[in-house]
Chain A
């Protein structure tokens, strides 16, 4: 390329604007819509001059108008000859056709053995026909013949030249029954070539003959794209990784890992509790598919809070939950300590729990149509149904292109009706998240009575692709509804377009939990084992504020809870929403702290800092918790000091192992040489009772991650 062109090229590159994002999304959506619209009609063959309705006549007309007068004369003579064959009694007797309904294949494979006379009759007839056809075509084809000497049958018309000889073979001499496969092949070819030929000279000949109907049947179901379709399909089918061909539109809610904070500058850390578990399931699903999860999918607090812990339960008459604070040596750094803050919610007497009103809001958009989505969802709700009691009520609303109530509020004892409604759900159409939400809340409203627990359970793959898909608008809507007493839980299904960010936003604003269900055993955990926690809140807006003592703690770092950070002043502001604690839930938070004077301190102490710190206190810090009892607007305060180092128990050590695992997956800059091996050893040694096998599974996942990260 010359300089001129290079100049022009660089100018051009500079001048070319970036595609407008909105238009981009619109255009792609338009293309997809057109694509989907097209799919319905694609299977049907398109009318072409050959297959169209008036094809025979058009073909004949075209041919006649293209022919010289001499050729036309020959052809019309041939047609008259054919007419004799059809119309005269002698001709009729020759034309005893095979039964019209008999498939051609059967005829060819059985005929020679079963019905000799008819077969020979047919052969005779065909030879006669063939002669007629030859006569008709000969003048036209003769110039072509010179180019194709080995095709004396003169079928050397465009497009059929290659097929013609095979067709001729099967016509003049029926293939031996010993080779049925060949018979099939040649029959098909024959039908094709005949249908092409028929407009030329055999149209009148076959006008009343049953062969024509057979031919039409044979030709009709042929896919319009022929062999290219087949070969394309063949190449795509064995693709071992079907995910790769799907656009991955997953989005995750996460923020950058919490940075190290210097106590003297910022002694107070505030956050909201988080009882979601979705991140753990997403990590598991990624690892089981042989991929390390995207770093942003790893929310360490959700990994930690996935597991049930054996923390001391609150005494009757106390606060609805009990706080345990301890500190111990950090596994990955002997010079720092971990502060372990544990909340254990009380388990209310389940026998006299209030009646539940559940509205299942089920995404039935086309994207839900895969085994790990809608079918798993149905199974999950099925096993959940067994946990409900006669006084509980269930309604089902589905949302696809338009929202619809599938099941009016029904007593949970009426299993048959509910299961039937559940089974009737089918995936199709696009998603309108908000339309569905509105209807679900409306249904929940009609079911609400005093003293009952109302909850909408949204099950989706995270695809809110029609209507209001602005997460902010949805959030506002849900926050409004939360204030009316109806809470929202979100269950995520399937991978590929999991919109984790929207799911998180909805559940956080709806005072509910977000869980990701990738297997039936996860459904068992979320919807059966921990159903009470998921559905019965015991404390609302639980906030944690930790103040560190700068005389003892030089630096600290909160592990996880990035998406749950609160401002310092939000702690005492009861208007600020925070996480809910369900019955029996436990919540764990971990800080890594560096003592003053420790060799692990990352920042240098200030030379001119005022030394006004009360150095007399032994406390490392002070934990304050605020919560609201269900239905109350005024928060209550719980305070606990963090005191010196202790030997970690089984539960605390397992938490540390998971915290380390989460950091390995996300950002291991603070871990030094500590790796998967150490995490596995630590987790393995602290599996505890592990009645449900969750911790054993975690160790398996660590092993998988270890192999995958090499």
Chain B
């Protein structure tokens, strides 16, 4: 019944100081943002914290929003950058990747039937480098290669290469499993 204002209009209004538009925009995208943060981090608590970081910094980042870009693209870029900042802040890089393990242990108790499949996911995500993981997180979130390239600030070719690398890694894991 009510016409839905486009994300881009909302973002432009928000950049102009319209608090209601900003709240509306955030409300629209929060769940997706959180899911994406989870993909980037692999830990629920970590994802919550990352989302909080992004929410806290988002108002200041609004100035960087260019109208010609899609809001989701811009938001994901902010998220990826925030995730990088967070990783940099961490004492060791290993802790970030071992997150998948922590999370999996907690999860195992609840969902025994999916454990096997999730083991595979854990292993898969653990084996990937940050770059591959970010790229995969985006592509698995239905972003096209060109969108992912825009968000990560690399060329489309790089994204395609990273995806093929990721696939290679995944295949290796599968083969290893099959061999065992």
Residues of A within 8 A of B (CB): 1-2, 4-5, 8-9, 11-12, 14-20, 23-24, 26-28, 30-32, 34-39, 42, 225, 228-229, 231-233, 235-236, 239, 241, 243-248, 291-292
Docked-complex contact B124 and A8, CB < 8 angstroms? yes
Residue in chain A with minimal CB distance to B44: A17
- Residue among A14, A42, A236 having the largest count of chain B Cβ atoms under 10 Å: A236
CB-defined contacts of B24 to chain A, threshold 8 Å = 245-247
- Least Cβ distance of A627 to chain B in Å? 42
B121 and A11 within 8 A (CB): yes
Check B82 for interface membership: any CB of A closer than 8 A: no
Could you tell me the dominant secondary structure of chain B's interface residues? Answer: helix
Instruction: Give Cα A369–Cα B12 distance, bound, in whole angstroms.
Output: 22
Q: Is the CB of B1 within 8 A of A16?
A: no
Q: Which B residues, 104 to 142, have Cβ-Cβ distances below 8 Å to chain A? A: 107, 114, 117-118, 120-121, 124, 136, 139-140
Q: Is the CB of A8 within 8 A of B136?
A: yes
Q: How far is the CB of B38 from chain A (nearest CB, A)?
A: 5
Instruction: Tell me whether B153 is interfacial, beta carbon within 8 Å.
Output: no
Q: Tell whether A292 pairs with B1 under 8 Å between CB atoms, given A8-B121, A235-B12.
A: yes
Chain A residues whose C-beta falls within 8 Å of the C-beta of B165 in the assembled complex: none
A27-B12 contact given A5-B167, A14-B114, A225-B63, CB 8 Å threshold: no
In the complex, the answer to whether B19 meets A229 with C-beta atoms within 8 Å is: no
Inside 8 A of A231's CB, which chain B residues have their CB? 67
Give which listed residue, B19, B26, B39, B63, contacts A39 with CB less than 8 A: B19
Q: Which B7-22 residues have a C-beta within 8 angstroms of A? A: 9-10, 12-22
Whether the pair B15, A31 counts as a contact (CB closer than 8 A) is: no
Write out the residue numbers on chain A whose beta carbons fall within 8 Å of the beta carbon of B139: 1, 5
Interface contact B13-A31, CB-CB below 8 Å: no
With a cutoff of 8 Å between Cβ atoms, the chain B residues found around residue A239 in the complex are 5, 9
Give the shortest distance, in Å, between B12 (CB) and chain A (any CB). 4
Residues A244 and B5 in contact, CB atoms below 8 Å apart: yes
Interface set, chain B 142-176, CB cutoff 8 A to A: 163, 166-167, 170-171, 174
Query: When the two chains form their complex, are residues B38 and A16 in contact, meaning their CB atoms are under 8 A apart?
Result: yes
Taking a contact as CB atoms under 8 Å apart, the answer to whether A31 and B55 are in contact is yes
Q: Closest approach, in angstroms, between the C-beta of A295 and any C-beta of chain B?
A: 12
Q: Is B4 an interface residue (CB 8 A)?
A: yes
B20's contact among A23, A38, A245, by CB below 8 Å, is which?
Answer: A245
Closest partner residue, chain B, to A234 (CB atom): B12
Contact A5 B140 (CB under 8 A): yes
Is B2 an interface position by the 8 A CB rule?
Answer: yes
Report whether B15 and A28 are in contact in the complex, using a CB–CB cutoff of 8 Å. no
Stretch at the interface among B29-37, B69-77, B84-92: B29-37
B15: chain A residues at CB < 8 Å are 225, 229, 232
A344 to chain B, nearest CB (A): 39
A236 B13 Cβ-Cβ under 8 A:
yes
The list of the 3 closest CB pairs from A to B, nearest first, reads A35-B59, A19-B34, A31-B55
B178 within 8 A of A: no
Query: Contact: A4 with B48, CB < 8 Å?
Result: no
Interface centre among A14, A15, A34, A233 (most CB of B within 10 A): A15
Contact B55 A30 (CB under 8 A): yes
Q: Is the CB of B56 within 8 A of A236?
A: no
In this complex, what residue of A is CB-closest to B163?
A5
* Residue of A whose beta carbon sits closest to that of B27: A247
Inter-subunit contact A243/B2 (CB<8 Å) = yes
Say yes or no: B2 contacts A39, CB within 8 Å: no
Is B179's beta carbon under 8 Å from chain A?
Answer: no
User: Which of B20, B114, B167 is in CB contact (< 8 Å) with A247?
Assistant: B20
Bound together, the chains give a CA A55 to CA B89 distance in angstroms of 33
Query: Is B81 an interface position by the 8 A CB rule?
Result: no
Q: Which of B1, B38, B59, B163 contacts A38 (CB 8 A)?
A: B59
Determine if A11 and B48 form an interchain contact, defined as CB atoms under 8 angstroms apart: no
| Minimal beta-carbon separation of A223 from chain B (angstroms) | 10
Our pick among A24, A26, A39, A241 for the contact of B3 (Cβ within 8 Å) is A241
Residue contact B17 to A236, C-beta cutoff 8 Å: no
Quote the shortest CB–CB distance from A18 to chain B (angstroms).
7
Q: Would you call A28 and B30 a contact (CB within 8 A)?
A: yes
Bitwise, B49-81 to A at CB < 8 A (1) or not (0) is 001100111111011001100000000000000
By the criterion CB–CB under 8 Å, are A229 and B16 in contact?
A: yes
Return A331 CB to nearest CB of chain B, in Å: 28
CB distance from B7 to the nearest CB of A (A): 11
Q: Is the CB of B2 within 8 A of A28?
A: no
Q: Which residue of A lies closest to B20 (CB)?
A: A246
| A243–B24 alpha-carbon span in the complex (Å) | 11
Nearest CB on B from A162, distance (A): 19
| Inter-subunit contact A16/B39 (CB<8 Å) | yes
Given known A-B contacts A16-B39, A236-B13, A34 and B3 have beta carbons under 8 A apart: no
Q: Which of B12, B23, B48, B52 contacts A236 (CB 8 A)?
A: B12
* Inter-chain contacts of A11 with B (CB < 8 A): 117-118, 120-121
Quick one: given A11-B118, A246-B24, are A28 and B16 in contact (CB under 8 Å)?
A: no
Q: B60 is contacted by which of A9, A38, A232, A236 (Cβ under 8 Å)?
A: A38
Measured between beta carbons, the chain A residues less than 8 angstroms from B2 are 241, 243-244, 248, 291
A20 touching B23 in the complex, CB below 8 Å, given contacts A11-B121, A228-B67, A233-B16: no
* B52 / chain A contacts, CB cutoff of 8 Å: 23, 26-27, 30
B18 to chain A, nearest CB (A): 7
Q: Which residues of A lie under 8 Å from residue B167 when comparing CB positions?
A: 2, 4-5
A9 to chain B, nearest CB (A): 5
Between A and B, 5 residue pairs with Cβ closer than 8 Å are A5-B139, A31-B59, A32-B26, A236-B12, A244-B3
Residues in B whose Cβ lies below 8 Å from that of A243: 2
Known interface pairs A27-B56, A42-B17; 18 further A-B residue pairs with C-beta atoms within 8 A, sorted by A's residue number: A4-B167, A8-B121, A11-B117, A12-B140, A16-B38, A19-B31, A19-B51, A28-B30, A31-B22, A31-B23, A31-B59, A32-B26, A232-B67, A236-B18, A245-B24, A246-B24, A247-B20, A248-B2
CA distance A16 to B47 in the complex (A): 10
A697 to B35, CA, bound (A): 49
Task: State A35–B18 Cα separation when bound (angstroms).
Answer: 9
Contacting residues, chain B, for A248 (C-beta < 8 A): 2
State A24–B52 Cα separation when bound (angstroms): 9
On whether the beta carbons of A28 and B63 are closer than 8 Å, the reply is: no
Complex Cα–Cα for A245 and B11 (A): 10
Q: B10 — which chain A residues lie within 8 A by C-beta?
A: 245
Contacts of A23 in B (CB 8 A): 48, 51-52
Q: Which residue of A lies closest to B28 (CB)?
A: A247
Q: How far does the alpha carbon of A232 sit from the alpha carbon of B13 in the complex, in Å?
A: 7
Separation of A53 and B130 alpha carbons in the complex (Å): 41
B118 pairs with A15, CB closer than 8 A: yes
How long is the Cα–Cα vector from A292 to B2 in the complex, in angstroms?
A: 11
Contacts of A26 in B (CB 8 A): 52
The distance from the CB of B4 to the nearest CB of chain A, in whole angstroms, is 7
Given contacts A8-B140, A31-B55, contact A245 B9 (CB under 8 A): yes
A15 to B140, CA, bound (A): 13
In the complex the two chains form, what is the Cα distance from A506 to B4 in whole Å?
Answer: 33
Q: How long is the Cα–Cα vector from A186 to B17 in the complex, in angstroms?
A: 30
Question: Distance (Å) between the CB of A591 and the closest chain B CB?
Answer: 33
Q: Is the CB of A28 within 8 A of B55?
A: yes
Query: In the assembled complex, which residues on chain B have CB atoms less than 8 Å from the CB atom of A232?
Result: 12-13, 15-16, 67
Closest to B49 in A: A23
A15: B residues at CB distance < 8 A: 38, 107, 118, 121
Assembled-state Cα–Cα distance A27/B55 (Å): 6
A82-B171 Cα distance, complex, nearest whole Å:
72
Considering residues A4, A35, A233, which has the most beta carbons from chain B within 10 angstroms of its beta carbon? A35
For residue B62, give the distance in angstroms from its CB to the closest CB of chain A. Answer: 8
Measured CA separation A31–B171 after assembly (Å): 41
Which residues on A sit within 8 Å (CB–CB) of B140? 5, 8-9, 12
* Docked pose: A118 CA to B121 CA in angstroms: 80
B16–A35 contact, CB under 8 A?
A: no
Contact status of A17 and B117, CB under 8 A, knowing A229-B16, A292-B1: no
